[in-house]
């Protein structure tokens, strides 16, 4: 698995609107990349809603939030619309990004729930895993971004 201090593996996928997204295009910005197992499930919904609630705080600190799963564009589009997410959901159909980050679960074809905070140079500054409940990923990621930015 990608560890703290590693360069974040680059990848290109479609987002929930069908637009291309390439991680390396975000260089110069702090990125919160959170892998989630499955759209429309209770834990993933709570996690996404919490990221949505905290989105302005991330943005004030210059951080971009992206959710990523192995779900299809259509499934993630429905998920984003139903929940009113104001950030992009990335569609890692086939799991190549999840494999590159070491979070792909072969048995289910989904990603583990793991959040990566990536600095402006593309280096992973924190890996958040095994955090319960799921929505705490957003709070912990915000804490890391605040520390990175020297904010309270």
- The pLDDT score that the predictor gives to residue 9 is 98
How far does Cα 139 stand from its chain's mean position?
13
* Residue 44 appears among annotated catalytic residues: yes
Architecture label for domain 27-149:
3-Layer(aba) Sandwich (3.40)
Mean pLDDT of 21-43: 97
pLDDT by residue (tens digit) across 58-115? 999 999 999 999 999 999 999 999 999 999 999 999 999 999 999 999 999 999 999 9
Question: Is residue 138 within 8 Å of residue 87, measured between CB atoms?
Answer: no
- The pLDDT score that the predictor gives to residue 107 is 95
Which residue is catalytic, options 23, 31, 44, 124? 44
Query: At a CB cut-off of 8 Å and minimum separation 6, what does 28 contact?
Result: 120
**Does pTM surpass 0.95?**
yes
């Amino acid at each position: 698995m990608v560890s703290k201090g590693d360069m974040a593996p680059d990848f290109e996928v479609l987002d929930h609107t069908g637009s291309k997204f390439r991680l390396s295009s975000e260089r110069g910005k702090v990125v919160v990349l959170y892998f989630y197992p499955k759209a429309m499930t209770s834990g993933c919904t709570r996690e996404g809603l919490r990221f949505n609630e905290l989105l302005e705080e991330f943005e004030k600190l210059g951080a971009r939030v992206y959710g990523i799963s192995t779900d299809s564009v259509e499934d993630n589009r429905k998920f984003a619309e139903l929940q009113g997410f104001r950030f992009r959901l990335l569609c890692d159909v086939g799991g190549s990004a999840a494999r590159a980050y070491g979070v792909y679960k072969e048995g289910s074809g989904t990603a583990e729930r793991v959040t990566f905070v990536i600095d402006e140079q593309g280096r992973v500054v924190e890996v958040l895993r095994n955090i319960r409940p799921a929505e705490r990923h957003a709070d912990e990621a915000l804490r890391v971004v605040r520390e990175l930015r020297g904010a309270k």
